[in-house]
Structure 1
């Protein structure tokens, strides 16, 4: 069965997100832990969280994916920004204890001129200061498009971050199709080669989730502009190969395309129609 969902708003509450997912035939979803471009987090209602867990269990949901705010930058040149990153992630992981055994995804950040090596060092240091052996959440590094000073534009950079983390069993990777395409990886005509390279550098068992997006820009543009499925430079044919690839087909896919709920429903229906039920 295709494990597919989209980005939903937590504003109406957790149970409401689960009900919205069911409305559009999704069996998972992604949500921001707090204001994506700020710092405020809505207080969690334990009963609301319990109701969502019950709905997910009853409907056999795949793991849900919590997304850190874009303002989290663990490798900033500014100390106050790094402190914010530590405090925010620590708080988010504490909040994720309401939803054990799910995923928390974050953008590695931008080194702001300090250099990639320094950025990697700072990201690993943040993770080592936060992760704990009893933590029920797996933290995912997201593959990046390579805008500006972004860290994580290559599989090698992600591997170096993972190498610096002590509790490696608490870590994984979320592959964003738009990002890796914009970073230069040929997932249209060379998907097998890309996955072979990923396996060699990081290891496919570390790949836990896929952000499924088309791209407005050509491969290697380093732009990070998401497009609706089949309306970008990746195209429906390549995306069909991605969701059916033996190494990927059983992973959860999360849409981050520019859509409203009805638009997501249409995309999910389209993707289910091209997914092979082996």
Structure 2
């Protein structure tokens, strides 16, 4: 019995492009995944190759229509001004358009730095430019580790940004911990605060990452599960009954050893969730 959908951020490099991510998800036994639609560190867009869309859609369908997300470029700054703001909107709209073509449900973006009002306006303009309707992909603003002028480290700021809009939120556990939310001590309380400020129904995606940096350090550096400063407390996030059905994506270091460790840890946690739930129902 599985309470969540889970997977990694997968690569689209190689001849298969985005379809290669589906093949890797199948090989690893994942129940969801996240990808970039283009290089995350370049403004250059990427055209979907001949047959790539069809292979991607068919592959997901054969695996039970795995839930998926696109992560927007790291260069996007929706709080900027001038040319950078315009380029950010265009790049995000490109990802939203690709998500719609591929049938991907979620697109996540870092809010950026600058004015909160411009972030909300920029996100809504990207949705308009991509002509995303009510049934199109959902755009999510990700909480940040904070530091400098970065917006989004506080849940109340994200709540303001999405209020009265179709926008949602992606909750990153490493970022929240680095921003000062005590996930290592009181994960239940943090999830309750997320619900009170945002509403869990508006948080379809969880980035499940441990943290290299200390609590409140504002250091955005992910660690493998149980190998960072949050540690075993992340199990309570995975097992939280109100997070069932969410997509959990690990943005951890990739490689056979790292993947094996993170999957074994997460699957052990999921088994313990089931045991706890069965015990409570007896």
| Post-superposition offset of 1:232 | 0.5
Deviation sequence 1:91-146 (CA, Å, 0-9, x none): 221121222251000000011xxxxxxx2100111122232435610001101000
Please say if residues 145 and 182 of structure 1, whose CA atoms lie closer than 8 Å, have aligned partners that are also in contact. yes
Q: Aligned equivalents of 2:152 and 2:265: distance in 1? A: 31
Please say if residues 70 and 104 of structure 2, whose CA atoms lie closer than 8 Å, have aligned partners that are also in contact. no
Corresponding residue number in structure 2 for 1:49: 53
Corresponding residue number in structure 2 for 1:154: 154
Q: Aligned equivalents of 2:164 and 2:91: distance in 1? A: 21
Q: Aligned equivalents of 1:153 and 1:101: distance in 2? A: 26
| Post-superposition offset of 1:180 | 0.2
Q: Aligned equivalents of 2:133 and 2:56: distance in 1? A: 26
| Post-superposition offset of 1:46 | 5.1
Please say if residues 46 and 98 of structure 1, whose CA atoms lie closer than 8 Å, have aligned partners that are also in contact. no
| Secondary structure of 1:66 counterpart | strand
* Structure 2 residue 105 is the aligned partner of structure 1 residue 107: no
Corresponding residue number in structure 2 for 1:269: 264
Gaps of 5+ in 2: 278-282
Please say if residues 25 and 265 of structure 1, whose CA atoms lie closer than 8 Å, have aligned partners that are also in contact. no
Please say if residues 198 and 204 of structure 1, whose CA atoms lie closer than 8 Å, have aligned partners that are also in contact. yes
User: Which of 209, 215, 222 in structure 1 is aligned with 2:218?
Assistant: 222
Q: Which moved more, 1:2-11 or 1:142-151?
A: 2-11
* Structure 2 residue 89 is the aligned partner of structure 1 residue 86: yes
Q: Aligned equivalents of 2:102 and 2:31: distance in 1? A: 16
| Post-superposition offset of 1:199 | 1.5
Report how many aligned residue pairs link the two structures: 265
Please say if residues 29 and 65 of structure 1, whose CA atoms lie closer than 8 Å, have aligned partners that are also in contact. yes
| Secondary structure of 2:51 counterpart | helix
Corresponding residue number in structure 1 for 2:5: 3
| Post-superposition offset of 1:242 | 1.2
| Secondary structure of 1:242 counterpart | helix
Gaps of 5+ in 1: 112-118
Alignment of 1:3-152 (within 5 A): 3-12=5-14, 13-45=17-49, 47-76=51-80, 78-100=81-103, 102-111=105-114, 119-131=115-127, 132-134=132-134, 136-152=136-152
Q: CA RMSD in A?
A: 1.7
Q: Aligned equivalents of 1:62 and 1:19: distance in 2? A: 12
Corresponding residue number in structure 2 for 1:174: 170
| Distance of aligned partners of 1:101 and 1:70 in 2 relative to their CA distance in 1, 3 Å threshold | closer
* Structure 2 residue 191 is the aligned partner of structure 1 residue 195: yes
| Secondary structure of 1:10 counterpart | coil
| Secondary structure of 1:175 counterpart | strand
Please say if residues 178 and 218 of structure 2, whose CA atoms lie closer than 8 Å, have aligned partners that are also in contact. yes
Deviation sequence 1:10-55 (CA, Å, 0-9, x none): 1221221111111112121111122111112321125222222222
Give me the TM-score of the superposition, normalised by structure 1: 0.90
Q: Aligned equivalents of 1:50 and 1:106: distance in 2? A: 26
